[in-house]
Amino acid sequence: MASSASETLLLTVFLRHDQSNNLDAVQTKLKDAGWWDRFPPPGVEIVSWTVAMGFGQIVTLRLPASKLAEVNVELERSAWGVFRTECYPAYDFIPVRERIKERVRKGGK
């Protein structure tokens, strides 16, 4: 992605399983909604996509802030009715940690 880290955010999306649907029903609904082609939308990078047994799927995306609404619409359009969704915006803490570590090394807080 061409954007710098300061122009992007991380978004962790919890796709909680709806245990009233079996796997075949879930796959049919996702296919009918165009999930596999629509999510995530173009310009959004998949950082990780993990299946947690008994919970669902945990997806971490990296995206420009300007794409946040588009990601939301795609979740509403193609995930609702299949998953219960929760979204948590975040940022890369590594550069912040390094600045704090250096400041503390120099005697600061």
Rounded to whole angstroms, how far apart are CA atoms 53 and 57? 8
Burial of 109 (0-12, 13-18, 19+ CB in 10 A): exposed
Residues of the chain below pLDDT 70: 1-6
Domain range annotation of the chain: 7-105
Return the CATH fold of 7-105.
Alpha-Beta Plaits (3.30.70)
Residue-averaged pLDDT of the chain: 92
Q: How far apart are CA 16 and CA 34, in angstroms?
A: 19
Give pLDDT, residue 7.
86
The string of pLDDT tens digits covering residues 84-97 is 999 999 988 999 99
